[in-house]
Every structure is written in structure tokens, then in C-alpha cells.
Chain A
Amino acid sequence: MVNLQFIVDGLLSGSMIGLGAIGVTLTYSILRFSNFAHGDLMAWGTYSTLLVVGAIAAAFGQVAPIGPLSFGWPLIFAVVLGMGFTSVLALFIDRILFARLRAKGQMVIVVMASFGASMALRNLLEFIFTSRPTYFNRAIQMAMPVGLGIRITPDQIALLAATALLVVGVHLVLTKTQTGRSMQAVSQNMALARVVGIDVSGVIRVTWIVGSALACFAGVMVGVLVQIRPLMGMDMTLPMFAAAILGGVGSVPGAVVGGLIIGLAEAAAVQMVGAEWRLAMAFVILMAVLLIRPIGIFGVEER
């Protein structure tokens, strides 16, 4: 008898992967490089949120959580600040590192620099906070049965709903607003976009802001539902890349669908093969996509 609980677990980790993969796919299609430091932006966002939560607790004392949730307004407020901080951090790194290397025109050097930046960022976190895991909240929530043997906690429902809102919001911004159309134009042809008067550096800024804000949110989700570690971003890197490629590079809905598929596959693997092989699922799916349909589900053949 298959336990259907893996669907909830898979959708949850799939949401985190998908939110992260949006940033990966946008960076790839607009800035044209695979950012190996994206997971570490996620970890930095989570730790910055944790610091704000700590500061609020120090200033206002313990604040009662909202309804049945494990967290109250401090976390919501802190996440917004954390998203802002992560965006500023990403813009700063772009300014001192990526933008300068981009100007030289060799994109694979930018990939290498992102690899170096990821090592530096991750180990700086480990230096400041040590490698010991930490938590937003240590209380254990009771999971409610919702039928078919599936149980879900209030936190999980709230975070799934928030993910859905964020994804729909980002999708609307990218397809319905002028900024979004400019981003699509730059991703299709940067030189031509510049010729017709699109502010390319503005588009690049928006790309970093959207990608890193979502990464921060995904990281906080990991923090609320699992735990916070300096290595949390590193462990998300492979699933995020696999999700972006599975969905089709450049496609935001694709990144989310890819993330959900990988999350579900991971959860199924945890149940059937064992939790220690979880990360291997992303690799298996990545290889299958590259062999069978390298442009991904929603990808378009590049001309």
C-alpha cells in the first residue's frame, strides 16, 4: 500500500525548489550564465531573516503566533526585510564581480566566478554562524488528517498558499507589465533590446531583485519546515538547476512545474528507496531530460 503522504511532502519541497529555480532560470535567460551562487543567496536570505526575527524578539518580547501557525507577524515582517537584504546583496555581488566579468564577454568565466563566490559566501556563513543547524521555532506542530492517509500542518498550508500567490504574482508581472515585456525582450536579444531603447541595466537589476527575493522566501520556507544550515543552499543547487532545465530554461511556469516534479520524485524516492538517496533523484531526472528532451517541457528551440 503506497502512502500518499509523499504528495504533500513532495509539493512542499517542490515549492521551495521551484521558487529557487525561478531565479536560476531568469539569470540564465537574461544574464546568460548558470549562477552556482544562487543557493547561497538563499541561505544568506534565510540567515538575515533569522537575525531580524531575533532582533524583534529582543525588542518586543515573544509575540503570539497567528491562529494555528507556528509564527506571527515578526516572521512575516522579517521575511520582507530579508528579501530586500538578499536583493541588495545580489546587486552588490553583481556590481563588484559579475558585471565586470560580463563586460569582458566570456560567459563561462562568469560561471566560474559564481562558483568562487558560492564557496566564499557559504563559508562566510559557516564562519559567522558555525555549521550547527538552527531553527525559527522549535515547537512541534500537530498535523491534521485530511483524508486518504494524508496529514498536513497549518504552516504547510500557509506556505503552499503563499508560494502559489508569489508564483502567480511573478508570472503576471513578467507577462502583463512593461517591465516584464522588457525582460522578455532582453532575454531574446540583448543587443536589439538596447537598440529599441530598453533600459538593459534596469532589466538586469530587476532580474537580480526578483530572483534573490524568491530565493530568500524559499530559504525561509526551508527554515520554517526543516532547519537552517549554511549548507542549505548548496543542497538546493542541483535540484534547482534540474528543475530549471526540466521546465525549459527561461520559462517561469516551467521552473515551478519542474520544481514540483522534482519535489514529488524526491519524496517518492524517500518513501521507496530511502531518504539518503533523495538528492540523487534530481540528477537522474537531469540526465533523463538531457538525453530525451534537452530543451525541457516548456522550452523553445533557440534560433
Chain B
Amino acid sequence: MIDLFSYGVFFLATALIFSVIALGLNLQWGLTGLFNAGVAGFVAIGAYTSAILTTPEITGRLGGFDLPITVGWLGAALATAAASAFTGFVTLRLKSDYLAITTFGVAVVVQLISLNAQSITGGPLGVSFIPRPFAALAEKPLTFNLLNLMVIVVVAATVFIVLEYLSRSPWGRVLKALREDERAAVSLGKNTRSYRIQAFAVGGAIMGLAGAMQAHFIGFIAPENYLAPLTFQIWVMLVVGGSGNNWGAIVGSILIWAIWAGSGALISLAVPTDQQARAASLQIVLIGVMLCAVLLVRPNGLLGERPVRRLTLFAKKRHSAAQNEPA
């Protein structure tokens, strides 16, 4: 019974960290319509920044600055915000596909740096001995996990509330306006590029913060944690939950993580050890098919954005009006 409860706490902590990444993506995609195909890269920037800032001194790799965990988390958010802002600065005056391609490239390059720049990132072995909050209580796993879960809940709730506030603020309304009808927003004197860069940077900061939280919760990071399947998982979480809705990001990530962890457990029980890598790839196939199916059948996810109905009606009217015009 205690075991089950303890696993539940661990599961929820992991899922909520994914929720925070999905919340960051929701600001970029759900609210602003910016396609980030390199989520894993931005999460990695946060994780590595915080790891380098907070680990004890070490030879053979940059840092080990032994700073407090909060400084690490703050640094992670700032570094990822800077990387996101630069990516946005280069691509956001161009067509939306360029952002997708460039972010995809960012993830590739971050992966290369984490693998090969041993003097900064520790190379394939990654960074270990990342300080964990409440490390003194690590012998009592339940208390330790519960306290960590509380920290994660507090951070996730704070991010959630700030994002809800932002999306209702004038700033958030400008972002929605840009997503729905760029020309109308521009005609009202809104600087498209600057608003989009801001949204992309704030979303990136949230992803970086989540990356740092994950690194400190597990205590160890390595390049293979930040491959394309991570990006993909976060996207499925947001799309299934309902992009544009912060609750959707949270519900989706808990649901998808439950499916992922459940099918993983099933594979390790039912499949012989030598075939488990193969079975694991089938897991990704199923999630990929699920993403495509949701996009086809229920593009708004479980909990879509609320005013969607009115907007589609409006879009249809506009569409038919455009068709009636002579070409």
C-alpha cells in the first residue's frame, strides 16, 4: 500500500514537470501559434545550465559552481529565455515554417554540444551529483518524494496562475489577435515580431525552468534524455489535452504520462529482455499514430480553448466571403 502511494507521488511529480514544459509550449503554440519543433533542446539548455551552476566543483568540465538550487533554476530560465529570444529574433520575421525548421536545428545542435563538448557538458556521461532539494531526507523515500512533489506543485501552480493571468491581460489578447488575424492586429499598430519574440522567450524560460526541475529531481542528466521523442511527447501531451487551454496542458501531460508509463511497465513485464528496445519503439509508433488521429478527429483535444466555436464560425464566414470575391 505504502509502495503504491510512494509510486503515485513519484509519478505525479514526474508528470507535473512535464506539465510545466507543456505549459511553456502552450504559451508558444496554443496562445501565439508558434511551432517549436525543438522542445527537447530548450529543456536541455535549462537542465544543463542549472546543473553546471549548482554541482560541486569538479575538474575536467566547466563549472561546478556550487551555487544554491534557486540560483540554478533562475539561471536555467534566463539562459533558455535568451536562447529562445535569439531563435525568435532570427526567424519570426519570416514564414512560420522557418521557426519550426530552426527550432528543430536548435535541438540537433544542443544534442551535439551535450554529446561532444565534454569540457562544458561532460559529454556522453552527462552530469551527475546534481543537488536534490531535501537531499538530507533521501533515506526516507516517501517523505523525500512528498516534499519534492510539494515544491513541484508550488512551481507548477505559480506558472499556471501567471500564465492564466498573462493570457487574459492585454498582452495575452494581443498574442491571440496575432494568431487569429495578423493583418488586423498589425493594422491596430501592434508590433508583430516583438510580441512573438516575447511570447517565445517566456515560453522558453518556462521550458528551461522545467528542465532544471527535472534535473534536480532525478539528480543526473545525460544527452539521451533530450532526444526528439521528448519533444514529441510534450506535443502529444498538449495536443491531446487541448492546446490553447492551460488546464489542457496539465490534464494532457498526466494522461499521456500515465499511458506512457503504463505501457512501459507492460512491456517490461510481457516482453523478453532482448526484445524490449524493439517493443519500446512500438510505444512511440502508437503515440505518433495517436497524435495524427487527434489532429484529424478532435483537433481541439480533450479541453480545447473555450471561445473556439465562435472563432470557427467567424473563420467560415470569412472563408466563404473570400470565395465569392472575383480572383
A199 is an interface residue with CB less than 8 A from chain B? no
| Contact status A280-B285, CB under 8 Å | no
Segment 276-303 of A: residues with Cβ below 8 Å from B: 276-277, 279-280, 282-283, 286-287, 290-291, 294
| Contact status A97-B101, CB under 8 Å | no
Segment 71-98 of A: residues with Cβ below 8 Å from B: 97
Residues in A whose Cβ lies below 8 Å from that of B287: 119
| Contact status B35-A112, CB under 8 Å | yes
Segment 244-292 of A: residues with Cβ below 8 Å from B: 245, 274, 276-277, 279-280, 282-283, 286-287, 290-291
Min CB distance A24 to B, Å, is: 10
> Could you tell me the distance between the alpha carbons of A237 and B296 in the complex, rounded to whole angstroms?
25
Min CB distance B105 to A, Å, is: 4
Type the 1/0 row for A164-188, where 1 means its CB is closer than 8 Å to any CB of B. 0000000000000000000000000
B37 is an interface residue with CB less than 8 A from chain A? yes
A131 is an interface residue with CB less than 8 A from chain B? yes
Residues in A whose Cβ lies below 8 Å from that of B116: 274, 276-277
Q: Could you say which of B106, B279, B299 contacts A109, with CB atoms under 8 Å apart?
A: B299
Which of B192-200, B227-235, B249-257 is the interface stretch?
A: B227-235
Which of A56-64, A121-129, A152-160, A201-209 is the interface stretch?
A: A121-129
Known contacts A97-B292, A119-B284, A124-B285; A33 and B108 CB within 8 A of each other = no
Which of A42-50, A100-108, A135-143, A210-218 is the interface stretch?
A: A100-108
Min CB distance A285 to B, Å, is: 10
| Contact status B102-A290, CB under 8 Å | yes
Type the 1/0 row for B67-111, where 1 means its CB is closer than 8 Å to any CB of A. 000000000000000000000001100101110111011101100
| Contact status B102-A286, CB under 8 Å | yes
Type the 1/0 row for B252-266, where 1 means its CB is closer than 8 Å to any CB of A. 000000000000000
| Contact status A241-B229, CB under 8 Å | no
B277 is an interface residue with CB less than 8 A from chain A? yes
Min CB distance A132 to B, Å, is: 10
> Could you tell me the distance between the alpha carbons of A117 and B296 in the complex, rounded to whole angstroms?
12
> Could you tell me the distance between the alpha carbons of A101 and B292 in the complex, rounded to whole angstroms?
10
| Contact status B232-A276, CB under 8 Å | no
| Contact status B108-A294, CB under 8 Å | no
Segment 5-48 of A: residues with Cβ below 8 Å from B: 28, 33-34, 36
B175 is an interface residue with CB less than 8 A from chain A? no
| Contact status B104-A100, CB under 8 Å | no
Residues in B whose Cβ lies below 8 Å from that of A290: 90-91, 94, 98, 102
Residues in A whose Cβ lies below 8 Å from that of B299: 104, 109
| Contact status A192-B292, CB under 8 Å | no
Closest to A241 in B: B101
Segment 114-166 of B: residues with Cβ below 8 Å from A: 115-116
Min CB distance B288 to A, Å, is: 3
> Could you tell me the distance between the alpha carbons of A281 and B261 in the complex, rounded to whole angstroms?
37
Chain B residues close to A by CB (< 8 Å) = 33, 35, 37, 90-91, 94, 96-98, 100-102, 104-106, 108-109, 112, 115-116, 228-229, 232, 235-236, 239, 277-279, 281-282, 284-285, 287-289, 291-292, 295-296, 299, 319, 327
14 A-B pairs within 8 Å (CB atoms) are namely A34-B100, A108-B96, A116-B235, A116-B236, A120-B285, A120-B288, A126-B281, A131-B281, A237-B104, A241-B101, A245-B98, A279-B108, A287-B90, A290-B94
**Can you add 16 more A-B contacts, CB < 8 Å, to A108-B100, A116-B236, A119-B287?**
A36-B100, A36-B104, A108-B96, A111-B97, A113-B295, A116-B295, A119-B232, A120-B284, A127-B282, A242-B105, A277-B112, A279-B112, A280-B108, A283-B105, A286-B102, A290-B90
Per CB-CB distance, the 7 closest pairs between chain A and chain B, nearest first, are: A120-B288, A116-B291, A123-B281, A126-B281, A119-B288, A123-B284, A283-B105
